[in-house]
Each structure stands twice: as structure tokens, then as C-alpha cells.
């Protein structure tokens, strides 16, 4: 009989300094899944977002699998000894199932009811399938979890207003600058989060928005869709000189903007204030950049005070969503147990041969 197990770390249990050490980019997945399969975890799925890194598995040996998964993540993050151990959580079925359904529905997000997490879980599932890392257990789990997430979004008000981390970042910029129309906003990254943030910026009245991305074609396409201006990636320093607000959401190995760079560029800006909001994990901007005069740097963990305000407004919708999820979880667990009973009762190949 296969159990569903989960080992992870998230924004509640660990600061960004630890989470970014575990973050997976798309190009990391092939060797990671090969390593997991070599460690005796043929059914495994990696979910890596700005606020969490979680590893799911379907296994007949849950205790041994949990140890292997914990070791895999600790080695991945370069943790030594007891470092960071208190930041990890490990759940077994049914708690692991309940947790995933809450994650995919936005109930476990920093921004309660955020829309991006449904897409992120779907992408993680598709990547795991492409690498041959899922089987009957995880396919059933993630298909039903994604369906539950969609049901929550259509049947409750949890996602009303399209709140996201990007939206909260824009609210922070508005608290600092007020009306955004006179200011130049630079977006670094034209991925899903970057495009959603751009859309929200335009809706909030920002009129001087520039977008830079490693893929110039992608930046141009996103800019056209939303009435922004695409700028060359190689002109990043000039854009940092001209911008008033920078919102960064790129997937990176190393910071795009360094402290030394900001200290140097501020003299060319004549010390004009610069607000940097870093939504990336790993971080796009070195923390030391915030020590430059007239530079105000915020990372994703700094947004939590604003997020708390929105949580209070959405508690009723969260209760409605949890009621739906409780039912969906019970249905999945009943289905999963039925599948396990059928597998246990099915005759083996040798029995079928003997019957002939």
C-alpha cells in the first residue's frame, strides 16, 4: 500500500535566506528527479515557488522515504548538522493531502487566495510528468488537488480582486509614492508573476512602466499586451539610473543587482530616492544594496505586514473554501483507499498463469 508523504519548508517556517538556498529552477529538475529515483523514490514531485519548496512522494515505505526526502533537501540547501532542521515540516497522509489541497487553493499562501499558486502547482505537476517522476498515486493526488483549487476559486470569493504578491508590492509602492503616474517603474522579469504585476500596475494608474527580460521577444510581447515599454536587458544599469521604482521577479542563480553597483549608480542619480521591491527567490537584488543612501529595499518577506490586512478581509471566504476542501479531501482519500484495495486484491501474474 502506498502512502503520500511530504517534506517541505515555507515562508512561515523559514526566512528567505534559507528558502532561496533550496529553490529549484526548471533546469535543475532533470538531475534532481534522477537523484530521487536513484534514492528509491520513483514517484516524487518538487514544488518550488517564492514562498515554499516542498517534495511530495507516493511510497509503500513512508518512514524511510521521509528520511530520504529530508536528506535530499538538506543536501540541496547545503545545511550542515542541525542547521535549519527546525524549518522543515514532514507530513503523512492524510495531513499531506490536506496540506496540498490548501496550498493549491491559496489557503496556505502569504497572500490568502492568491491566483498564481494554482498555475505554479500545475506547472510543477506537468514538469514532474515530463521527467517520468509521477505514477498512479501522485497523478491521482495532483489531478484532484488542481480540480479542488479550481472549485474553490469559482465557488467562493477567496480570489476576488486578483490579490497576489505583486499586487501587495504595488500597494507598498503606493504607500511610499502616492500617485504612481509621475514615476518611472521598471519591471525586471516578464514571466507569469511579472506579467500579472504589470497588469495590476497599469490598473493602478502607472503610466511610465518599462519591462526588461532576458528574452527581448518575451518582454516586447508582454509590453504590447499591456501598454508598457520594453527596454533592452543589456541596458539594465541605465534603466536603474532612470527608474524611481524597481519590481524584480526573475528566476536567477545570482543577484541581478549588487550592492556595489547601486552605490556607484546612486551618484549618477544625484541621490534621487530609489525604491526596490524584490519578489524573487533566490533574491534578485543583493541585501547590501539596501545600505546605499536613499535606496529603500524590500524583499518578499517584508510584505507580510500589508498581507495581514488582506487576510482579515478574506477570512469568511477562507472558511467557505475550507468547507469545500474538507469534502474534496475526503473524496480523494476514499478514492485512494479504494484503488489500494483493488491493487491488493488483484491476482498476481503467477496466479494467473497457474489458473490457466
Q: Starting at the edge strand that comes first in sequence, how are the strands of the sheet with 229-230 ordered? A: 229-230, 208-212, 184-188, 245-248, 274-278, 295-299
Phi, psi angle pair for 111, to nearest 5°: -100, 105
What does the alpha-carbon distance between residue 105 and residue 109 come to, in Å, rounded to a whole number? Answer: 9
Which residues are CB-neighbours of 202 under 8 A, at least 6 positions away? 209, 226, 227, 228
Phi, psi angle pair for 321, to nearest 5°: -65, -40
Of 50, 250, 275, 345, which one is the catalytic site residue? 50
In angstroms and rounded to an integer, the radius of gyration of the C-alpha atoms of the chain is 22
The DSSP-derived string for 257-323 is B-HHHHHHHHHHTTT--EEEEE--SS-SB-GGGGGSTTEEEEEGGGGHHHHHHHHHHHHHHHHHHHH
Active site residue 50: yes
> How many helices (H) does the chain have, and how many strands (E)?
13, 10
Task: Give the sign of the dihedral formed by CA 194, CA 198, CA 201, CA 203.
Answer: negative
What does the alpha-carbon distance between residue 313 and residue 318 come to, in Å, rounded to a whole number? Answer: 10
Q: Which three cell numbers stand for residue 128?
A: 514532474
CA distances (Å), 133 to each of 42, 60, 92, in order? 6, 16, 19
What does the alpha-carbon distance between residue 74 and residue 174 come to, in Å, rounded to a whole number? Answer: 39
What does the alpha-carbon distance between residue 285 and residue 278 come to, in Å, rounded to a whole number? Answer: 7
Residues belonging to the active site: 50
Amino acid at each position: 500500500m502506498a502512502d503520500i508523504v511530504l517534506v517541505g519548508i515555507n515562508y512561515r517556517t523559514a526566512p528567505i535566506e534559507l528558502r532561496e538556498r533550496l529553490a529549484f529552477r526548471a533546469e535543475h529538475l532533470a538531475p534532481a528527479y534522477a537523484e530521487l529515483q536513484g534514492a528509491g523514490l520513483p514517484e516524487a514531485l518538487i514544488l518550488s515557488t517564492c514562498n515554499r519548496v516542498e517534495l511530495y512522494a507516493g511510497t509503500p515505505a513512508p518512514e524511510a522515504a521521509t528520511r530520504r526526502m529530508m536528506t535530499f533537501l538538506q543536501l540541496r540547501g547545503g545545511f550542515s548538522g542541525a542547521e535549519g532542521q527546525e524549518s522543515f515540516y514532514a507530513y503523512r497522509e492524510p495531513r499531506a493531502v490536506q496540506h496540498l489541497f490548501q496550498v493549491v487553493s491559496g489557503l496556505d499562501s502569504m497572500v490568502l487566495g492568491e491566483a498564481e499558486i494554482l498555475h505554479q502547482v500545475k506547472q510543477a505537476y506537468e514538469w514532474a510528468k515530463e521527467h517520468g517522476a509521477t505514477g498512479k498515486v501522485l497523478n491521482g493526488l495532483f489531478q484532484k488537488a488542481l480540480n479542488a483549487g479550481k472549485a474553490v476559486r469559482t465557488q467562493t470569493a477567496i480570489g476576488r480582486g486578483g490579490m497576489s504578491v505583486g499586487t501587495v508590492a504595488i500597494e507598498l509602492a503606493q504607500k511610499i509614492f502616492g500617485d504612481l503616474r509621475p514615476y518611472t517603474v521598471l519591471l525586471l522579469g516578464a514571466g507569469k508573476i511579472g506579467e500579472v504585476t504589470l497588469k495590476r500596475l497599469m490598473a493602478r494608474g502607472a503610466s511610465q512602466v518599462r519591462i526588461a527580460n532576458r528574452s527581448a521577444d518575451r518582454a516586447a510581447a508582454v509590453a504590447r499586451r499591456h501598454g508598457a515599454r520594453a527596454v533592452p536587458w543589456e541596458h539594465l544599469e541605465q534603466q536603474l539610473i532612470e527608474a524611481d521604482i524597481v519590481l524584480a521577479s526573475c528566476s536567477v542563480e545570482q543577484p541581478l543587482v549588487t550592492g556595489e553597483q547601486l552605490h556607484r549608480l546612486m551618484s549618477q542619480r544625484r541621490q534621487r530616492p530609489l525604491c526596490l521591491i524584490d519578489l524573487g527567490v533566490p533574491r534578485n537584488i543583493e541585501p547590501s544594496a539596501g545600505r546605499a543612501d536613499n535606496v529603500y529595499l524590500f524583499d518578499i518577506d517584508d510584505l507580510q505586514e500589508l498581507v495581514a490586512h488582506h487576510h482579515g478581509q478574506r477570512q469568511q471566504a477562507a472558511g467557505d473554501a475550507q468547507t469545500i476542501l474538507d469534502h474534496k479531501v475526503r473524496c480523494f482519500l476514499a478514492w485512494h483507499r479504494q484503488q489500494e484495495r483493488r491493487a491488493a486484491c488483484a491476482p498476481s501474474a503467477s496466479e494467473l498463469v497457474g489458473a490457466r
